[in-house]
Amino acid sequence: MTGTVQCVVLDCADVRELAEFYRHLLGGEINKPDPRWSLDDDWATLHLPSGLVLCFQRIPDHRPPIWGDPTRPQQFHLDIGVPDLDQAARAAESAGATLLDDTHPWRIYADPAGHPFCLLHEK
């Protein structure tokens, strides 16, 4: 059997806030009608221009990962390719991202719900 990825789901306390954050970074349409999902206060979607769908699931007691802490690991992260790293970093920070690490050729941020993501130069 071969499956296909339908979406990537991120747990968070506020689905609309996180959907808006990623729309600001990546573009796309929030809560585009799609028969695969029911939209409500506990679930939001972001259909990206690339065709990928990010989904956001409300978890009332969401505990964000802590960068570098094995007791609250990141579990996964997104790598986001950008043409201009400095410009993308400013945009991410203005949207609410928190810089976690800038000691590499890429930059590691946390989104408003605490999920880490990396901004790196497109190749």
- pLDDT tens-digit map of 18-73: 999 999 999 999 999 988 888 999 999 999 999 999 999 999 899 888 888 888 88
pLDDT value of residue 72: 85
Lowest-confidence region among 15-29, 60-74, 79-93, 102-116: 60-74
* Tokens, residue 100: 């976690």
Whether 25 contacts 19, CB under 8 Å: no
Distance from C-alpha of 68 to C-alpha of 92, rounded to nearest angstrom: 21
- What confidence score (pLDDT) does residue 51 get? 93
Residue range 78-121 forms a domain whose CATH class is alpha beta
Mean pLDDT estimate for the chain = 90
Mean pLDDT of the 99-106 span:
92
Q: Report the pLDDT value the prediction gives residue 37, as an integer from 0 to 100.
A: 82
Of 120, 97, 116, give the one whose Cα is nearest residue 10: 116
pLDDT at 6: 81
Nearest in space to 17 (alpha carbons), one of 96, 91, 89: 96
Residue extent(s) of CATH 3.10.180.10 domains in the chain: 8-58, 78-121
Is pLDDT above 60 for 3?
no
What is the model's pLDDT at position 36? 82
Tokens of 45: 């979607």
Q: What is the pLDDT of residue 77?
A: 81
The Cα-based distances of 119 to 1, 23, 34, 60, 100 in angstroms read 34, 15, 29, 28, 11
| pTM of structure | 0.82
CATH architecture label of 8-58:
Roll (3.10)
